[in-house]
Structure 1
Amino acid sequence: MHHRRQNICYFFCMFTRSVFLCKVMPPKFALNCIQHQDKTLADPLPSHASVIVIGGGIMGCSTLYHLAKMGVTDAVLLERNALTSGTTWHSAAQVRALRHSRNLTRMIQYSVELYSLLEKETGQSVGWIQKGSLSIATSPDRLTHIRRQEALAHAYGINARSISAEEAKERWPLMNGNDVLGAVWSPDDGRVSPSDVCAALAKAAKHLGAKLFERTGVIGILTENGRVRGVETAQGTIMCDAIALCTGLWSREVAAMAGAEVPALACEHFYLLTKPIDGIVGNTPTLSDHDSHLYIRDDSGGLLVGCFEPLGKPIAPGILNESFEFGLLPEDWDHFEPMMINALHRLPALESAEVKMLLNGPESFTPDGTFMLGETAETRGLFLGCGMNSVGIASGGGAGMNLAHCIVHGQTAYDLTEADAKRFAPVFNNIEHLMARAPEILGTHYDIAYPGKQLRTARDLRTLPLDREYRESRAHMGQFFGWERPLYFGKLVEPVLRFDRPDWFQNVRAEVMAAHERAAVFDASPFGKIDVQGPDAESFLLHVCAGHVARAPGSVIYTAMLNERGTFESDLTAQRLADDHYRLFVGTAAIKRDLAWLHRHSHGYDVTLQDVTEDYAVLGLMGPDSARIVSECGARALNEVAYFKHGTAQLVGRPVRGARISYVGESGWEMTCRREDAPEVYAALVAAGAQPAGTFAQTSMRIEKGFCAMGHELDGDVSPIAAGLDFAVRKSGGFIGAEALEAGRARGDVSHIISLSLDDESAVPLGHEPIYFKGRILGQTSSCAFGFRVGKPVGLGHTREQLRNGERVQIDIARQMHDATVTIGPLFDPQSLRMKH
């Protein structure tokens, strides 16, 4: 070890340069842009453009190109410096197709296809090098992780296969493979030249009529009545109908000009470049050594060694100003040293390599590690394409297409809810929280995707009314839309994350069985609550909701909110409190998105919309003892409330409204009370015998009951028909999406949701596993858990074809096939007798 340390010290002393790189020589493409700026500015700014794209990186160029392709030929791109001069130019530009969801993967597959077609369309080479990628594992859990990725790749039609450590060594001869347990080989991955891609996109967009203006910085965004109207530049004002904000590192500040929130922050991102070394001949695959936080490939006969270290370095706002053009940050060898030690272990040839530079370029990161795409909640006509989290080149082609599609057609080409611009709670748009969270997000890029994993930073931002009580009951907390919610109770030590049976298995079993045999309390307080009031409350909701919302006061209604395609924008329950007053209960993470959707469709209706989420607590009392408990607590009147009805009562002298519904398949009520009354109501329920239960128990019971959830079984690609929920839709029409649903019924569309029970009780499905039927992939799981009431691992899934009740299938869990039985409908209590009892 001492000898190795000497080599490292020698390496650092010989090549460390105390250089502050505030400017570097721009690439050839950037020079061309600068040399031709006078010609560009010879064209005067137009007075109006249908869409203005702000920012000339990969997202801006791709969005402009796709807008022009979709017929918006008067679109204009404004770049305050030169194209690619922010972060695009220094991207390592890897294009790896596989992502954690089908549509994010589909988006990158589109990028690959686009980049190859651009050369034919424009004659401009994009530098596409397709040498594949090699992901190695040096720990058993990493091996499980990459094999889960391989299984996912098969479901998405991506060529990937497991290979031995020996074959991995053959594909990367310079690699030290002594500790490698296995690998996955993906031959179709590759990389491009970022500047050349942008040059091709810009050339094609201009050919279609779009215009680009460099050296044209935006100094203000004009808005009127919450909608964008134009932009101000130093060269003049352009009026517009929409703005695509693709400003990378500066997106938070530019969005603020229009009153919108973009919680994204820049971090320093490092990669090492060496001079040519022996053994590098031609191009190599990208080597992913994620246990060491590294990615490695050739570069001009040498090596590029990049990292996503466990905790990055945030860049405070204001450090990167308008003069930061083709800029880099200071080399920081002290910060990079742990990664350098890992790299020397993996690539012994580095000990004698000569270093060109340690590149330190800024990249922007969001609070959850996924980019932001779509219209903002705050400002109509302002569309985001930013927060790319260091995957801008891979994502840019498909993300730009989807952003243009969203601007032109009102929605992305396919569901991208996980990237929706409206998904973050306002509390995240806070510099203190972003400075803590963004460095952690950088480090999670190469994390093992353990079930139950929670982020550590920017926690305790929003606490429930019963936070103190839950922590006293040793709750293990998870963060949802900023809220801290109990995942399970009775934690004695911090759980060790794993892929096999989790540490909390017995805790969750106890909570499920309490709800099944006695009574349990589930906290639904963070679910969004929207009051809809006014003379037109019913007619408005009949327009935006597909369900039977015209029912009498005292009713509870389950309903979907659909888009024009007849697919889900949201699902919710509505309580009609009076003729002119409804209260909508929406998903925890959906409140900002759903409220924006409702506001944008309320024009012409005499209604008011109010977010009352934090005014009320909601406690779900579920189980066969529920009736006894409410009676003992003085709320006997709730026992008179019929199924899917609500009523009021006094529980230990506190007013509550009990809705007779159940998300877990046991009888009970979801009881709404004032926030300040929640501690007394909760204490009375627990004293009478109810046991606190967390979201893990609720999820297990939901899956057993076959209840669909947004983000799992339901999304913007799924209709109520395909989800088996057409029974909850009005057949008379008159709502958004009705025509599309009617067309689907005429086509003979049917449900493709199935329930699954696995034979092997020790199997641990997590969701997204491929479903095989007679040797071919027929679908994927969407939600999975252990079903304690049925005694087996269970899941819900989508299939491309209808299966029959009792059919036998196989579930691919990390390349191990597990037999399972198909059930059409719920696995537990299919007649729903228990929750109606």
Structure 2
Amino acid sequence: MASKLPSHVEYVVIGGGIIGLSIAYHLTRLGHRDVLLLERDQLTCGTTWHAAGLVTQLRANETMAKLAQYSADLFRDLEHMTGQATGFRQTGSITVAATQDRLEELKRGSSMGRSFGLDVEMISAAEAQRRVPLLDFSDVLGAAWIASDGMTNAIDTARAFAVGARQGGATILERTPVTRILVEKGRFVGVETSQGTVRAEQAVISTGLWTRNVAAELNWSVPLQAAEHFYVVTEAIPDLPHDLPTIRDMDARVYAKADAGKLLVGFFEANGKPWGMNGIPHGFSFDSLPEDFDHIEPYLSAAIERMPVLANVGLQLNFNGPESFTPDNRFHLGPSPEIQGLYVASGFNSCGIESSGGAGKVMAEWMSTGLPAGDCWEMDVRRSMPFQRNRRYLYDRTVEAVGNLWSLHLPHRSPKTARNVRVSPLHDRLSAVGANFGESAGWERVQWFGAPGSPNESHATYGRDEWFERSGAEHTATRSGVTLFDQTSFAHLLVQGSDALALLQCLSTNDVNVAVGRVVYTPWLNERGGMESDVTIARISDEEFLVVTAAVQRTRDLAWLRLHAKGAGHVSVADVSSGYTTLSVMGPRSRELLERVSPADFSNEAFPFATAREIEVGYSLALAFRMTFVGELGWELHIPTEQTLGVYDALVAAGADLGLGHAGYVALNTLRLEAGYRDWGADVGDEDTPLESGLGFTVAWDKREDFIGRAALEAQRGKPLRRRLVQLAAPDAKSLMFGTEPVWRNGSLVGYLRSAGFGHSVGCGIGMGYLTAEAGVTADWLSGGSFEIEIAGKRYSAIASLRPFYDAGRSRVKGEWRAVEELVAKDLLAT
């Protein structure tokens, strides 16, 4: 009998769960017929078959919520489109709040949902009782109602994707395990299977629980870990409403849905149980794990308190099955940083069914065009660091990750487990003076400084508590004196060779052909003009450049450099991040402090802005950049790691009578917001152009060399922009802003804040967001409108400006001292 396995295809989808099937379906919807899906055993046999099938759309951020929104819309029509029943029903959902913090979170989530078209209704406990009488609302303060939420049958929905994919021309082969992924010269070329070899152009790994090990064989870090997930199904409950909404009590960590006259009740425990640390058994298909009633008993008791009907009904099923979780509870989507043509779509943190339609669409578009249709950075696998596939790290983090899915998403929150993986040489020094650390890309970074010896807090609150006062004092000290910021988490990438300049000119919008010792800030664009990254480049010598970028962008930017370095001639790219510590000296007295520890000339004439120079400092040498991200005079000191402590101690000793202070990343954020500095990943991303983002000054239109994305920028140049990044302030708002708050103009929704904080110098909440107007977002459009910012369901009057609210003329950065009061845009902030 001839093999059904083709010799060559365009796309291979590895894995026959609902995600892989959705990708295959969506590839055919884009017109691709040469699609092959390979499943090691039977479709849905891994995780999909036992999923609860909830379809809830309010998520922690816009990107993930949009996947669920699209899925819900698609599920409504999928049966009609394919002829395969899905069991999808829109019964609505109710999420109750029994604490003030949870109620605040739901109110803020309701506002966020409104920003992108999701109708989330906040209702009283009494109204919630009327809609869902079987719940006990005696301690409930309020609830969130989403009428468009629902539930679906996971297996039937996956089958519908399979039917649709086959109707579109895809080939789906079961019992055909992929035994090896073939890579030649850094490019995916095919797969080996139990039935033979298939050459292919592109592939996506959608292997769920198995993905970490599949990717690790290719030296690719896709960090996820299986954990046990528990739910119970009751015996039949008389008169249980067929259209019962999905119920969530996130404080009790329980959910429930109607299931054929019974209740399915599931749990997201505070301490999860990782499973399969030594690999998933080869024949694991349609299998469950042993019951553990002792583990779930406290949560089942909480469920009975919320749903008293459970006290009088028996349990028909006590189920335990594995699902995969990621260290930050966000999905892993996108391309391999080192292997062209290879993608991943895994790590759905028990949200795979509700996200399957959106994830399939995103991945099909990404593979088809080479770019995601929208901003997917929150889920981009290239945010992962190599160390994160370490199994001990994954075990410890997964214990927490299961519960973190429903923990309060408080501002600046960081996980508590698997910490201190990457620490600055200054960690102990900073801890001794009260540092409160958060985590970013595995780095321990100071959020703010408490009193020495005070407990380390891993998050802020929604209110103006100690964190607010402490970080506010750091903000003010930076504006008035001098402070130290430890920014060792910066990534440092060294680009060398006779063709290094040509490579960087091709990637950069700005002109990198500057004199040795100069520093250039520049975006890197994709072909549609969106910002793949923004970096600082220092020219160290004729053929040597140091690229400095943010910690979370390290994998992405290194891959971008190496991809374009291929065939670029004599050029090498090296990650030298571990060789440097970065200590930023910021504030109007920064020059005075540095002159005490170094014989270098720090005057404007000798050391102008955007200069890089090796200086003596203390007993050491450091590469000093005159740059700032806070809107004040300042220098970044890039110090050889082994010389860090000596430089720090010299600065601290010399700054004692100057009032030298320490500052963390919360103050860094509020300072840069006042000054209008953009943060990649928050304010700018790969669908935002420099012109839309207010970074047109970084585009060297007259440089001789062409650069990636120029054609897209030329199409926008000189024309009204219907979408622009705007500074906004809310002088009367009592509630704090943290980002995602909707922005209204003359009663119409025109955008939302991408980032926000409290401007301690300007005295009110401030933020940045993209606003949209068909005729163009212009100064006249802004001045001619009445703006409001919605915070937790309440609207506050707002001021919108294309210029920053603090020191718009950059006089402080230039070293032209002026009082802070003179630099606040009081006319803009006048109420």
For 1:594-633, list aligned pairs within 5 A: 594-605=557-568, 606-633=570-597
What's 2:827 paired with?
A: none
Partner secondary structure for residue 344 of structure 2? strand
CA distance in 1: counterparts of 2:784 and 2:576, whole angstroms: 45
What's 1:728 paired with?
A: 698
Tell me which moved more, 683-692 or 265-274.
683-692
1:666 aligns with 2:666: no
Tell me which moved more, 246-255 or 801-810.
801-810
Given residue 476 of structure 2, which amino acid in structure 1 is its aligned partner? Answer: M
Partner secondary structure for residue 717 of structure 2? helix
Aligned residues of 1:721 and 1:750 also touching (Cα < 8 A): no
What's 1:819 paired with?
A: 797
- For residue 579 of structure 1, the aligned residue among 542, 548, 562 is 542
What's 1:705 paired with?
A: 675
CA distance in 1: counterparts of 2:135 and 2:319, whole angstroms: 22
Shift of 1:497: 4.5
Given residue 481 of structure 1, which amino acid in structure 2 is its aligned partner? Answer: A
CA distance in 1: counterparts of 2:440 and 2:263, whole angstroms: 41
- For residue 136 of structure 2, the aligned residue among 176, 179, 189 is 176
CA distance in 2: counterparts of 1:307 and 1:188, whole angstroms: 23
Go from structure 1 to structure 2 and tell me whether the alpha carbon gap of 1:633 and 1:173 turns closer, same or farther (over 3 Å shift): same
For 1:675-824, list aligned pairs within 5 A: 675-689=641-655, 690-732=660-702, 734-745=706-717, 747-749=719-721, 752-760=724-732, 762-801=734-773, 802=777, 803-805=781-783, 808-824=786-802
What's 1:541 paired with?
A: 504
What's 1:654 paired with?
A: 620
CA distance in 1: counterparts of 2:134 and 2:258, whole angstroms: 11
Percent of aligned pairs with the same amino acid: 37
Given residue 455 of structure 2, which amino acid in structure 1 is its aligned partner? Answer: V
Aligned residues of 2:40 and 2:178 also touching (Cα < 8 A): yes
Aligned residues of 2:723 and 2:772 also touching (Cα < 8 A): no
Aligned residues of 2:213 and 2:279 also touching (Cα < 8 A): no
Given residue 295 of structure 2, which amino acid in structure 1 is its aligned partner? Answer: H
Go from structure 1 to structure 2 and tell me whether the alpha carbon gap of 1:761 and 1:654 turns closer, same or farther (over 3 Å shift): farther
- For residue 517 of structure 2, the aligned residue among 554, 560, 565 is 554
Q: Deviations over 1:251-304 (max 9, x none)?
A: 111222333222110000011101211230312110111111111111110101
For 1:11-160, list aligned pairs within 5 A: 44-160=4-120
Tell me which moved more, 533-542 or 221-230.
221-230
Aligned residues of 2:63 and 2:378 also touching (Cα < 8 A): no
CA distance in 1: counterparts of 2:461 and 2:478, whole angstroms: 26
CA distance in 2: counterparts of 1:101 and 1:140, whole angstroms: 21
- For residue 600 of structure 2, the aligned residue among 631, 636, 642 is 636
RMSD: 1.6
CA distance in 1: counterparts of 2:70 and 2:100, whole angstroms: 33
Partner secondary structure for residue 648 of structure 2? helix
| TM-score (structure 1 length as normaliser) | 0.93
1:276 aligns with 2:254: no
CA distance in 2: counterparts of 1:122 and 1:624, whole angstroms: 66
Go from structure 1 to structure 2 and tell me whether the alpha carbon gap of 1:597 and 1:674 turns closer, same or farther (over 3 Å shift): same
CA distance in 2: counterparts of 1:300 and 1:235, whole angstroms: 41
Given residue 461 of structure 1, which amino acid in structure 2 is its aligned partner? Answer: V
Aligned residues of 1:228 and 1:258 also touching (Cα < 8 A): no
Aligned residues of 1:807 and 1:821 also touching (Cα < 8 A): no
CA distance in 1: counterparts of 2:759 and 2:364, whole angstroms: 43
Given residue 121 of structure 2, which amino acid in structure 1 is its aligned partner? Answer: R
Given residue 607 of structure 1, which amino acid in structure 2 is its aligned partner? Answer: V
What's 1:10 paired with?
A: none
Shift of 1:581: 0.9
Tell me which moved more, 267-276 or 90-99.
90-99
Aligned residues of 1:724 and 1:750 also touching (Cα < 8 A): no
Shift of 1:312: 0.8
For 1:337-736, list aligned pairs within 5 A: 337-491=297-451, 492-495=454-457, 497-605=460-568, 606-639=570-603, 640-689=606-655, 690-732=660-702, 734-736=706-708
Q: Deviations over 1:724-759 (max 9, x none)?
A: 111211224711111111112265326622222222
CA distance in 2: counterparts of 1:350 and 1:598, whole angstroms: 58
Shift of 1:105: 2.1
Partner secondary structure for residue 601 of structure 1? helix
CA distance in 2: counterparts of 1:642 and 1:604, whole angstroms: 36
What's 1:189 paired with?
A: 149
Partner secondary structure for residue 804 of structure 1? helix
Aligned residues of 1:516 and 1:666 also touching (Cα < 8 A): yes
Aligned residues of 1:451 and 1:499 also touching (Cα < 8 A): yes
CA distance in 2: counterparts of 1:449 and 1:204, whole angstroms: 37
Shift of 1:600: 0.9
CA distance in 1: counterparts of 2:266 and 2:770, whole angstroms: 38
CA distance in 1: counterparts of 2:361 and 2:2, whole angstroms: 29
What's 2:222 paired with?
A: 262
Aligned residues of 2:746 and 2:785 also touching (Cα < 8 A): no
Go from structure 1 to structure 2 and tell me whether the alpha carbon gap of 1:560 and 1:674 turns closer, same or farther (over 3 Å shift): same
CA distance in 1: counterparts of 2:31 and 2:331, whole angstroms: 26
CA distance in 2: counterparts of 1:751 and 1:325, whole angstroms: 49
CA distance in 1: counterparts of 2:405 and 2:582, whole angstroms: 36
Partner secondary structure for residue 160 of structure 2? helix
Shift of 1:544: 1.0
CA distance in 2: counterparts of 1:42 and 1:140, whole angstroms: 66
Aligned residues of 2:210 and 2:279 also touching (Cα < 8 A): no
Go from structure 1 to structure 2 and tell me whether the alpha carbon gap of 1:819 and 1:753 turns closer, same or farther (over 3 Å shift): same
Go from structure 1 to structure 2 and tell me whether the alpha carbon gap of 1:832 and 1:750 turns closer, same or farther (over 3 Å shift): farther
CA distance in 2: counterparts of 1:158 and 1:200, whole angstroms: 25
Q: Deviations over 1:3-51 (max 9, x none)?
A: xxxxxxxxxxxxxxxxxxxxxxxxxxxxxxxxxxxxxx97521111222
CA distance in 1: counterparts of 2:412 and 2:279, whole angstroms: 36
What's 1:3 paired with?
A: none
Go from structure 1 to structure 2 and tell me whether the alpha carbon gap of 1:42 and 1:301 turns closer, same or farther (over 3 Å shift): farther
Given residue 92 of structure 2, which amino acid in structure 1 is its aligned partner? Answer: G
CA distance in 2: counterparts of 1:557 and 1:806, whole angstroms: 36
Partner secondary structure for residue 602 of structure 2? helix
CA distance in 1: counterparts of 2:376 and 2:549, whole angstroms: 19
User: What are the ranges of 5 or more consecutive residues in structure 1 without an aligned counterpart?
Assistant: 1-40
Aligned residues of 2:221 and 2:385 also touching (Cα < 8 A): no
- For residue 831 of structure 1, the aligned residue among 775, 790, 809 is 809
Shift of 1:625: 1.4
CA distance in 2: counterparts of 1:318 and 1:505, whole angstroms: 44
| TM-score (structure 2 length as normaliser) | 0.94
CA distance in 1: counterparts of 2:217 and 2:344, whole angstroms: 13
CA distance in 2: counterparts of 1:805 and 1:662, whole angstroms: 30
Q: Deviations over 1:315-341 (max 9, x none)?
A: 033463121111111111000101111
CA distance in 2: counterparts of 1:754 and 1:597, whole angstroms: 29
Given residue 426 of structure 1, which amino acid in structure 2 is its aligned partner? Answer: P
Aligned residues of 1:287 and 1:296 also touching (Cα < 8 A): yes
Aligned residues of 2:3 and 2:195 also touching (Cα < 8 A): no
CA distance in 2: counterparts of 1:149 and 1:483, whole angstroms: 28
Given residue 445 of structure 2, which amino acid in structure 1 is its aligned partner? Answer: R
